Structure 1
Protein backbone atom coordinates (compact mmCIF):
# COMPACT_ATOMS: atom_id res chain seq x y z
CA UNK A 1 0.00 0.00 0.00
CA UNK A 2 1.27 3.47 -0.89
CA UNK A 3 1.52 5.54 2.27
CA UNK A 4 2.32 9.01 0.91
CA UNK A 5 1.56 10.72 -2.39
CA UNK A 6 3.77 13.76 -3.01
CA UNK A 7 2.09 15.93 -5.65
CA UNK A 8 4.22 18.54 -7.44
CA UNK A 9 2.25 20.79 -9.82
CA UNK A 10 4.38 22.35 -12.54
CA UNK A 11 3.79 25.20 -14.96
CA UNK A 12 6.88 26.42 -16.80
CA UNK A 13 9.32 25.19 -14.15
CA UNK A 14 12.16 24.01 -16.37
CA UNK A 15 14.66 25.84 -14.16
CA UNK A 16 13.48 24.04 -11.02
CA UNK A 17 11.88 20.67 -11.80
CA UNK A 18 15.05 18.58 -11.66
CA UNK A 19 16.21 20.21 -8.44
CA UNK A 20 12.88 19.73 -6.66
CA UNK A 21 12.87 16.06 -7.68
CA UNK A 22 16.40 15.66 -6.34
CA UNK A 23 15.54 17.43 -3.08
CA UNK A 24 12.30 15.58 -2.37
CA UNK A 25 13.73 12.18 -3.25
CA UNK A 26 16.76 12.73 -1.02
CA UNK A 27 14.48 13.53 1.93
CA UNK A 28 11.92 10.74 1.64
CA UNK A 29 13.72 7.76 0.15
CA UNK A 30 15.19 6.67 3.50
CA UNK A 31 12.59 8.11 5.88
CA UNK A 32 9.13 7.38 4.45
CA UNK A 33 8.18 3.87 3.26
CA UNK A 34 6.03 3.29 0.19
CA UNK A 35 5.85 6.83 -1.19
CA UNK A 36 5.12 8.08 -4.69
CA UNK A 37 5.98 11.37 -6.36
CA UNK A 38 3.52 12.69 -8.93
CA UNK A 39 4.60 15.48 -11.25
CA UNK A 40 1.55 17.21 -12.77
CA UNK A 41 2.54 19.25 -15.80
CA UNK A 42 -0.12 21.90 -16.40
CA UNK A 43 0.56 22.29 -20.13
CA UNK A 44 3.91 24.03 -19.72
CA UNK A 45 5.23 26.09 -22.61
CA UNK A 46 8.86 25.28 -21.84
CA UNK A 47 10.87 22.07 -21.33
CA UNK A 48 9.38 21.18 -17.93
CA UNK A 49 7.58 18.07 -19.16
CA UNK A 50 10.50 16.63 -21.12
CA UNK A 51 12.96 17.31 -18.29
CA UNK A 52 10.68 15.64 -15.74
CA UNK A 53 10.22 12.58 -17.97
CA UNK A 54 13.95 12.37 -18.59
CA UNK A 55 14.65 12.57 -14.84
CA UNK A 56 12.14 9.78 -14.16
CA UNK A 57 13.69 7.61 -16.89
CA UNK A 58 17.22 8.11 -15.61
CA UNK A 59 16.17 7.53 -12.00
CA UNK A 60 13.99 4.52 -12.73
CA UNK A 61 13.79 3.44 -9.07
CA UNK A 62 12.67 6.86 -7.84
CA UNK A 63 8.89 6.11 -7.73
CA UNK A 64 8.14 9.17 -9.87
CA UNK A 65 5.14 9.42 -12.18
CA UNK A 66 4.93 12.27 -14.67
CA UNK A 67 1.39 13.21 -15.71
CA UNK A 68 0.48 15.66 -18.43
CA UNK A 69 -2.74 17.46 -17.49
CA UNK A 70 -4.85 17.37 -20.63
CA UNK A 71 -7.60 19.66 -19.34
CA UNK A 72 -7.08 23.35 -20.06
CA UNK A 73 -5.31 25.42 -17.43
CA UNK A 74 -7.54 26.43 -14.53
CA UNK A 75 -4.92 27.26 -11.92
CA UNK A 76 -2.96 25.74 -9.05
CA UNK A 77 -5.97 24.14 -7.38
CA UNK A 78 -7.07 22.40 -10.56
CA UNK A 79 -3.56 20.98 -11.04
CA UNK A 80 -3.27 19.52 -7.54
CA UNK A 81 -6.80 18.08 -7.73
CA UNK A 82 -5.77 16.40 -10.96
CA UNK A 83 -2.83 14.89 -9.10
CA UNK A 84 -5.05 13.76 -6.24
CA UNK A 85 -7.24 11.93 -8.74
CA UNK A 86 -4.26 9.77 -9.76
CA UNK A 87 -2.79 9.45 -6.26
CA UNK A 88 -2.84 6.17 -4.36
CA UNK A 89 -1.41 7.21 -1.01
CA UNK A 90 -3.13 7.09 2.36
CA UNK A 91 -1.62 10.55 2.92
CA UNK A 92 -0.93 13.37 0.47
CA UNK A 93 1.09 16.56 0.35
CA UNK A 94 1.49 19.35 -2.22
CA UNK A 95 5.06 20.52 -2.85
CA UNK A 96 5.84 23.68 -4.82
CA UNK A 97 8.06 23.06 -7.83
CA UNK A 98 9.96 26.30 -7.17
CA UNK A 99 11.84 24.80 -4.20
CA UNK A 100 10.44 27.23 -1.60
CA UNK A 101 8.85 24.68 0.75
CA UNK A 102 10.69 23.28 3.81
CA UNK A 103 10.64 19.72 2.48
CA UNK A 104 12.95 18.59 5.28
CA UNK A 105 9.87 18.67 7.53
CA UNK A 106 8.07 15.92 5.60
CA UNK A 107 9.34 13.01 7.76
CA UNK A 108 8.13 14.82 10.91
CA UNK A 109 4.76 15.56 9.30
CA UNK A 110 4.45 11.93 8.25
CA UNK A 111 5.13 10.66 11.76
CA UNK A 112 2.52 13.01 13.21
CA UNK A 113 -0.09 11.63 10.81
CA UNK A 114 0.95 8.12 11.79
CA UNK A 115 0.36 9.07 15.44
CA UNK A 116 -3.29 9.91 14.73
CA UNK A 117 -3.55 13.42 13.32
CA UNK A 118 -5.58 14.07 10.17
CA UNK A 119 -3.79 17.17 8.87
CA UNK A 120 -0.40 18.71 9.56
CA UNK A 121 -0.07 22.36 8.58
CA UNK A 122 3.27 24.16 8.38
CA UNK A 123 2.87 27.70 9.70
CA UNK A 124 5.18 30.55 8.70
CA UNK A 125 3.94 32.72 11.55
CA UNK A 126 4.44 30.63 14.71
CA UNK A 127 7.93 32.10 14.98
CA UNK A 128 8.66 35.64 13.85
CA UNK A 129 11.93 34.70 12.15
CA UNK A 130 10.14 32.26 9.84
CA UNK A 131 8.30 35.03 7.99
CA UNK A 132 11.44 37.01 7.11
CA UNK A 133 11.41 35.75 3.51
CA UNK A 134 7.76 36.69 2.88
CA UNK A 135 7.21 40.02 1.09
CA UNK A 136 5.77 42.78 3.27
CA UNK A 137 2.63 43.07 1.10
CA UNK A 138 1.77 39.41 1.75
CA UNK A 139 2.39 39.75 5.50
CA UNK A 140 0.21 42.87 5.53
CA UNK A 141 -2.58 40.94 3.83
CA UNK A 142 -2.12 37.97 6.18
CA UNK A 143 -2.43 40.21 9.24
CA UNK A 144 -5.99 41.09 8.28
CA UNK A 145 -6.85 37.73 6.76
CA UNK A 146 -6.06 35.86 9.98
CA UNK A 147 -8.43 38.18 11.85
CA UNK A 148 -11.12 37.60 9.25
CA UNK A 149 -10.58 33.85 9.67
CA UNK A 150 -11.16 34.25 13.41
CA UNK A 151 -14.48 35.98 12.75
CA UNK A 152 -15.47 33.36 10.20
CA UNK A 153 -14.53 30.21 12.12
CA UNK A 154 -14.54 31.44 15.69
CA UNK A 155 -10.99 30.31 16.38
CA UNK A 156 -7.48 31.58 15.83
CA UNK A 157 -5.55 29.86 13.04
CA UNK A 158 -1.86 30.76 12.72
CA UNK A 159 -1.60 30.00 8.98
CA UNK A 160 -4.45 28.84 6.75
CA UNK A 161 -3.18 29.88 3.32
CA UNK A 162 0.15 28.07 3.06
CA UNK A 163 -0.25 25.13 0.67
CA UNK A 164 2.46 23.06 2.38
CA UNK A 165 0.35 20.65 4.42
CA UNK A 166 0.15 16.88 4.73
CA UNK A 167 -3.21 15.20 5.24
CA UNK A 168 -5.26 12.03 5.09
CA UNK A 169 -6.18 11.97 1.44
CA UNK A 170 -9.60 10.30 1.55
CA UNK A 171 -10.79 12.39 4.50
CA UNK A 172 -10.00 15.62 2.68
CA UNK A 173 -11.42 14.39 -0.62
CA UNK A 174 -14.64 13.43 1.16
CA UNK A 175 -15.30 17.14 1.83
CA UNK A 176 -15.50 17.79 -1.92
CA UNK A 177 -12.73 20.14 -3.02
CA UNK A 178 -13.95 22.76 -5.48
CA UNK A 179 -11.32 25.54 -5.70
CA UNK A 180 -9.29 25.76 -8.90
CA UNK A 181 -6.84 28.42 -7.80
CA UNK A 182 -4.58 28.98 -4.78
CA UNK A 183 -7.62 29.26 -2.51
CA UNK A 184 -7.68 25.47 -2.43
CA UNK A 185 -5.30 25.80 0.53
CA UNK A 186 -7.67 27.66 2.88
CA UNK A 187 -10.53 25.53 1.52
CA UNK A 188 -8.78 22.38 2.74
CA UNK A 189 -7.96 23.95 6.10
CA UNK A 190 -11.43 25.38 6.73
CA UNK A 191 -13.19 22.17 5.74
CA UNK A 192 -10.85 20.16 7.95
CA UNK A 193 -11.74 22.36 10.92
CA UNK A 194 -15.46 22.40 10.19
CA UNK A 195 -15.58 18.62 9.82
CA UNK A 196 -13.77 18.05 13.12
CA UNK A 197 -10.47 16.69 11.84
CA UNK A 198 -7.53 16.48 14.24
CA UNK A 199 -5.07 19.19 13.15
CA UNK A 200 -1.50 19.99 14.18
CA UNK A 201 0.44 23.15 13.34
CA UNK A 202 4.23 23.03 13.16
CA UNK A 203 6.66 25.86 12.60
CA UNK A 204 8.48 26.26 9.30
CA UNK A 205 9.83 28.95 7.01
CA UNK A 206 9.17 29.48 3.33
CA UNK A 207 12.22 29.93 1.14
CA UNK A 208 12.72 32.07 -1.94
CA UNK A 209 12.24 30.99 -5.53
CA UNK A 210 15.47 29.97 -7.26
CA UNK A 211 14.43 30.34 -10.88
CA UNK A 212 11.41 31.25 -12.99
CA UNK A 213 8.44 33.39 -12.00
CA UNK A 214 5.87 32.96 -9.26
CA UNK A 215 2.38 31.99 -10.42
CA UNK A 216 0.71 33.62 -7.41
CA UNK A 217 -0.87 36.96 -8.31
CA UNK A 218 -2.41 38.66 -5.29
CA UNK A 219 -4.96 40.68 -7.25
CA UNK A 220 -6.26 37.51 -8.94
CA UNK A 221 -6.48 35.36 -5.82
CA UNK A 222 -8.14 37.74 -3.36
CA UNK A 223 -11.75 37.03 -4.38
CA UNK A 224 -11.30 33.28 -4.03
CA UNK A 225 -9.74 33.62 -0.58
CA UNK A 226 -12.60 35.89 0.47
CA UNK A 227 -15.21 33.42 -0.79
CA UNK A 228 -13.66 30.72 1.41
CA UNK A 229 -14.25 32.95 4.42
CA UNK A 230 -17.90 33.54 3.51
CA UNK A 231 -18.57 29.86 2.83
CA UNK A 232 -16.89 28.79 6.07
CA UNK A 233 -18.94 31.29 8.08
CA UNK A 234 -22.22 30.22 6.45
CA UNK A 235 -21.40 26.56 7.01
CA UNK A 236 -20.50 27.10 10.67
CA UNK A 237 -23.73 29.01 11.23
CA UNK A 238 -25.69 26.37 9.24
CA UNK A 239 -26.99 28.96 6.82
CA UNK A 240 -25.69 27.37 3.62
CA UNK A 241 -23.71 24.15 3.77
CA UNK A 242 -20.37 24.05 1.99
CA UNK A 243 -20.01 20.27 2.06
Structure 2
Protein backbone atom coordinates (compact mmCIF):
# COMPACT_ATOMS: atom_id res chain seq x y z
CA UNK A 1 0.00 0.00 0.00
CA UNK A 2 1.49 3.32 -1.08
CA UNK A 3 1.15 5.98 1.59
CA UNK A 4 3.03 9.25 1.80
CA UNK A 5 1.47 10.81 4.88
CA UNK A 6 3.69 11.29 7.93
CA UNK A 7 2.55 10.96 11.52
CA UNK A 8 2.66 14.26 13.41
CA UNK A 9 4.93 12.77 16.06
CA UNK A 10 6.24 9.47 17.36
CA UNK A 11 8.15 8.18 20.38
CA UNK A 12 10.41 5.17 19.80
CA UNK A 13 10.82 3.17 23.03
CA UNK A 14 13.50 0.50 23.53
CA UNK A 15 14.00 -1.34 26.85
CA UNK A 16 17.73 -2.11 27.12
CA UNK A 17 19.54 -4.59 29.33
CA UNK A 18 23.20 -5.28 28.54
CA UNK A 19 22.87 -4.24 24.90
CA UNK A 20 26.15 -2.30 24.67
CA UNK A 21 27.15 -3.95 21.38
CA UNK A 22 23.74 -3.48 19.75
CA UNK A 23 23.09 0.16 20.68
CA UNK A 24 25.17 1.88 17.93
CA UNK A 25 23.48 -0.05 15.11
CA UNK A 26 20.07 0.33 16.74
CA UNK A 27 20.33 4.10 17.04
CA UNK A 28 21.72 4.46 13.53
CA UNK A 29 18.79 2.48 12.14
CA UNK A 30 16.14 4.44 14.06
CA UNK A 31 17.63 7.84 13.18
CA UNK A 32 17.53 6.83 9.53
CA UNK A 33 13.93 5.59 9.64
CA UNK A 34 12.27 8.15 11.94
CA UNK A 35 12.02 11.08 9.44
CA UNK A 36 10.29 8.73 7.00
CA UNK A 37 7.40 8.06 9.37
CA UNK A 38 6.89 11.24 11.42
CA UNK A 39 7.43 15.00 11.41
CA UNK A 40 8.75 14.94 14.98
CA UNK A 41 10.32 12.07 16.85
CA UNK A 42 12.15 11.08 20.01
CA UNK A 43 14.12 7.94 20.79
CA UNK A 44 13.78 6.75 24.39
CA UNK A 45 16.25 4.10 25.51
CA UNK A 46 15.47 2.70 28.95
CA UNK A 47 18.60 1.35 30.61
CA UNK A 48 17.19 -1.35 32.88
CA UNK A 49 20.07 -1.66 35.33
CA UNK A 50 22.58 -2.89 32.75
CA UNK A 51 25.90 -4.17 34.09
CA UNK A 52 27.86 -3.46 30.91
CA UNK A 53 28.49 -0.17 29.10
CA UNK A 54 24.95 0.28 27.77
CA UNK A 55 24.30 3.54 29.64
CA UNK A 56 27.64 5.02 28.64
CA UNK A 57 27.10 4.28 24.94
CA UNK A 58 23.60 5.78 25.00
CA UNK A 59 24.87 8.91 26.77
CA UNK A 60 27.44 9.46 24.05
CA UNK A 61 24.79 9.32 21.33
CA UNK A 62 22.37 11.47 23.34
CA UNK A 63 25.01 14.18 23.70
CA UNK A 64 25.17 14.42 19.91
CA UNK A 65 21.45 14.18 19.10
CA UNK A 66 18.76 16.04 21.06
CA UNK A 67 16.11 13.54 19.91
CA UNK A 68 17.76 10.73 21.87
CA UNK A 69 16.85 10.33 25.55
CA UNK A 70 18.41 8.03 28.13
CA UNK A 71 16.23 6.90 31.02
CA UNK A 72 18.05 4.80 33.63
CA UNK A 73 16.55 2.72 36.42
CA UNK A 74 17.36 -0.22 38.68
CA UNK A 75 16.69 -3.56 37.03
CA UNK A 76 12.95 -4.23 36.87
CA UNK A 77 12.70 -6.62 33.94
CA UNK A 78 11.37 -6.02 30.43
CA UNK A 79 7.89 -5.15 31.65
CA UNK A 80 9.16 -2.60 34.14
CA UNK A 81 11.43 -1.01 31.54
CA UNK A 82 8.63 -0.86 28.97
CA UNK A 83 6.28 0.76 31.47
CA UNK A 84 8.95 3.36 32.25
CA UNK A 85 9.37 4.06 28.55
CA UNK A 86 5.62 4.39 28.05
CA UNK A 87 5.34 6.91 30.87
CA UNK A 88 8.30 8.90 29.50
CA UNK A 89 6.91 9.06 25.96
CA UNK A 90 5.40 12.43 25.05
CA UNK A 91 4.35 12.13 21.40
CA UNK A 92 1.10 11.09 19.65
CA UNK A 93 2.20 7.60 18.67
CA UNK A 94 4.47 5.23 20.58
CA UNK A 95 6.43 2.46 18.88
CA UNK A 96 8.33 -0.11 20.89
CA UNK A 97 10.65 -2.94 20.03
CA UNK A 98 13.58 -4.87 21.48
CA UNK A 99 17.05 -3.38 21.36
CA UNK A 100 18.60 -6.58 20.02
CA UNK A 101 18.00 -5.89 16.30
CA UNK A 102 15.97 -9.05 15.70
CA UNK A 103 13.51 -7.01 13.64
CA UNK A 104 13.93 -4.87 10.53
CA UNK A 105 12.77 -1.55 11.96
CA UNK A 106 12.13 -0.15 8.48
CA UNK A 107 9.03 -2.36 8.38
CA UNK A 108 7.30 0.23 10.55
CA UNK A 109 6.61 2.11 7.30
CA UNK A 110 4.07 -0.63 6.48
CA UNK A 111 2.19 0.22 9.68
CA UNK A 112 1.60 3.93 9.04
CA UNK A 113 -1.29 3.58 6.52
CA UNK A 114 -3.32 1.75 9.15
CA UNK A 115 -3.03 4.43 11.83
CA UNK A 116 -5.95 6.41 10.37
CA UNK A 117 -8.48 3.76 11.36
CA UNK A 118 -6.78 1.82 14.17
CA UNK A 119 -5.56 2.57 17.68
CA UNK A 120 -2.90 -0.15 17.66
CA UNK A 121 -0.98 -1.62 14.75
CA UNK A 122 0.91 -4.68 15.96
CA UNK A 123 3.34 -7.06 14.33
CA UNK A 124 3.36 -10.83 14.28
CA UNK A 125 6.45 -12.82 13.38
CA UNK A 126 6.04 -14.51 10.00
CA UNK A 127 8.96 -16.71 10.99
CA UNK A 128 10.47 -17.23 14.43
CA UNK A 129 14.25 -17.14 14.43
CA UNK A 130 14.66 -18.54 17.95
CA UNK A 131 15.33 -22.14 18.84
CA UNK A 132 12.77 -24.87 19.52
CA UNK A 133 12.65 -24.21 23.28
CA UNK A 134 11.63 -20.58 22.78
CA UNK A 135 8.95 -21.53 20.26
CA UNK A 136 7.46 -24.10 22.67
CA UNK A 137 7.53 -21.50 25.46
CA UNK A 138 5.71 -18.94 23.30
CA UNK A 139 3.08 -21.47 22.20
CA UNK A 140 2.47 -22.52 25.79
CA UNK A 141 2.11 -18.89 26.83
CA UNK A 142 -0.50 -18.25 24.14
CA UNK A 143 -2.59 -21.22 25.25
CA UNK A 144 -2.27 -20.25 28.91
CA UNK A 145 -3.17 -16.62 28.24
CA UNK A 146 -6.22 -17.67 26.23
CA UNK A 147 -7.55 -20.25 28.70
CA UNK A 148 -6.70 -18.51 31.96
CA UNK A 149 -7.02 -14.83 31.10
CA UNK A 150 -9.49 -14.98 28.24
CA UNK A 151 -7.02 -13.44 25.81
CA UNK A 152 -8.51 -13.11 22.29
CA UNK A 153 -7.20 -16.08 20.31
CA UNK A 154 -7.19 -14.20 16.99
CA UNK A 155 -4.18 -12.18 18.16
CA UNK A 156 -1.45 -14.10 16.33
CA UNK A 157 1.68 -13.19 18.30
CA UNK A 158 1.08 -11.80 21.78
CA UNK A 159 4.64 -10.95 22.74
CA UNK A 160 5.99 -9.77 19.39
CA UNK A 161 7.97 -6.67 20.33
CA UNK A 162 7.01 -4.66 17.28
CA UNK A 163 4.00 -2.51 18.12
CA UNK A 164 2.76 0.97 17.16
CA UNK A 165 0.31 2.40 19.67
CA UNK A 166 -1.69 5.60 19.90
CA UNK A 167 -0.72 7.36 23.12
CA UNK A 168 -4.40 7.62 24.11
CA UNK A 169 -4.39 3.84 24.54
CA UNK A 170 -1.43 4.01 26.92
CA UNK A 171 -3.18 6.70 28.96
CA UNK A 172 -6.38 4.65 29.16
CA UNK A 173 -4.63 1.42 30.13
CA UNK A 174 -2.52 3.19 32.75
CA UNK A 175 0.63 1.92 34.51
CA UNK A 176 1.46 -1.74 33.95
CA UNK A 177 2.00 -4.14 36.85
CA UNK A 178 3.79 -6.94 34.97
CA UNK A 179 7.56 -6.83 35.26
CA UNK A 180 8.31 -9.81 33.04
CA UNK A 181 7.07 -11.39 29.83
CA UNK A 182 3.37 -10.95 30.63
CA UNK A 183 3.58 -7.23 29.95
CA UNK A 184 2.35 -7.55 26.35
CA UNK A 185 -0.52 -9.76 27.49
CA UNK A 186 -1.48 -7.24 30.17
CA UNK A 187 -1.37 -4.29 27.81
CA UNK A 188 -3.10 -5.88 24.82
CA UNK A 189 -5.85 -7.54 26.86
CA UNK A 190 -6.73 -4.29 28.59
CA UNK A 191 -6.68 -2.37 25.31
CA UNK A 192 -8.93 -5.02 23.76
CA UNK A 193 -11.34 -4.96 26.72
CA UNK A 194 -11.54 -1.16 26.49
CA UNK A 195 -12.64 -1.43 22.87
CA UNK A 196 -9.57 -0.08 21.07
CA UNK A 197 -9.15 -1.24 17.47
CA UNK A 198 -6.20 -3.51 16.64
CA UNK A 199 -4.70 -4.30 13.23
CA UNK A 200 -2.06 -7.01 12.71
CA UNK A 201 0.76 -7.05 10.15
CA UNK A 202 3.39 -9.74 9.52
CA UNK A 203 7.04 -8.80 10.09
CA UNK A 204 10.32 -10.62 9.55
CA UNK A 205 12.33 -11.95 12.50
CA UNK A 206 16.09 -12.49 12.66
CA UNK A 207 18.65 -14.18 14.89
CA UNK A 208 20.26 -11.93 17.48
CA UNK A 209 23.80 -10.92 16.48
CA UNK A 210 25.17 -9.85 19.88
CA UNK A 211 24.39 -10.72 23.48
CA UNK A 212 22.00 -13.30 24.85
CA UNK A 213 18.23 -13.59 24.88
CA UNK A 214 16.62 -12.53 28.16
CA UNK A 215 13.46 -14.61 27.66
CA UNK A 216 12.32 -18.20 27.97
CA UNK A 217 14.39 -19.29 30.99
CA UNK A 218 13.14 -21.36 33.94
CA UNK A 219 13.21 -18.16 35.98
CA UNK A 220 10.82 -16.58 33.47
CA UNK A 221 8.37 -19.45 33.95
CA UNK A 222 8.24 -18.87 37.72
CA UNK A 223 7.81 -15.12 37.20
CA UNK A 224 4.92 -15.77 34.79
CA UNK A 225 3.17 -18.11 37.24
CA UNK A 226 3.56 -15.53 40.01
CA UNK A 227 2.20 -12.70 37.87
CA UNK A 228 -0.72 -14.58 36.29
CA UNK A 229 -3.01 -14.42 39.32
CA UNK A 230 -2.07 -10.81 40.04
CA UNK A 231 -2.75 -9.86 36.44
CA UNK A 232 -6.06 -11.72 36.25
CA UNK A 233 -7.28 -10.03 39.42
CA UNK A 234 -6.33 -6.58 38.11
CA UNK A 235 -7.78 -7.01 34.64
CA UNK A 236 -11.05 -8.62 35.78
CA UNK A 237 -11.57 -5.93 38.42
CA UNK A 238 -10.75 -3.06 36.06
CA UNK A 239 -12.94 -4.47 33.28
CA UNK A 240 -15.86 -4.94 35.72
CA UNK A 241 -15.56 -1.34 36.94
CA UNK A 242 -15.38 -0.10 33.35
CA UNK A 243 -18.57 -1.98 32.43
CA UNK A 244 -20.37 -0.70 35.54
CA UNK A 245 -19.39 2.86 34.66
CA UNK A 246 -20.52 2.34 31.08
CA UNK A 247 -23.91 1.01 32.23
CA UNK A 248 -24.36 3.92 34.65
CA UNK A 249 -23.63 6.49 31.93
CA UNK A 250 -26.04 4.85 29.48
CA UNK A 251 -28.83 5.01 32.07
CA UNK A 252 -28.02 8.62 32.93
CA UNK A 253 -28.22 9.61 29.27
State whether TM-score is above 0.5: yes
The correspondence for 2:68, drawn from 48, 64, 70, is 64
Structure 1: unaligned runs, 5 residues or longer = none
Larger radius of gyration: 2
Q: Give TM-score scaled by structure 2 length.
A: 0.80
The match for 1:170 is 168
Matches within 5 A, 1:1-243: 3-58=9-64, 60=65, 63-69=67-73, 72-113=74-115, 115-124=116-125, 127=126, 130-131=127-128, 133-151=129-147, 152-153=150-151, 155-176=153-174, 177-225=176-224, 227-228=227-228, 231=231, 241=240
Contact residue 180 and residue 224 of structure 2 kept, 8 A: no
Contact residue 11 and residue 43 of structure 2 kept, 8 A: yes
* CA distance in 2: counterparts of 1:27 and 1:239, whole angstroms: 37
Change (3 A) 1:229 1:188: farther
Alpha-carbon deviations, 1:18-37, whole Å to 9, x = none?
Answer: 11000111112233221110
Structure 2: unaligned runs, 5 residues or longer = 1-6, 243-253
The match for 2:246 is none
Q: Give TM-score scaled by structure 1 length.
A: 0.83
Change (3 A) 1:48 1:233: closer
More off after superposition, 143-152 vs 168-177 = 143-152
* 3-state SS in 1 of match to 2:43: strand
More off after superposition, 39-48 vs 215-224 = 215-224
* CA distance in 2: counterparts of 1:167 and 1:39, whole angstroms: 17
Alpha-carbon deviations, 1:141-199, whole Å to 9, x = none?
Answer: 33343334443235432111222211112323322321112211111111122211100
Q: Which structure's residues are more often strand, by fraction?
A: 2
Report the number of matched residues: 232
* 3-state SS in 2 of match to 1:153: coil
**What displacement does 1:75 show?**
0.7
* 3-state SS in 1 of match to 2:160: coil
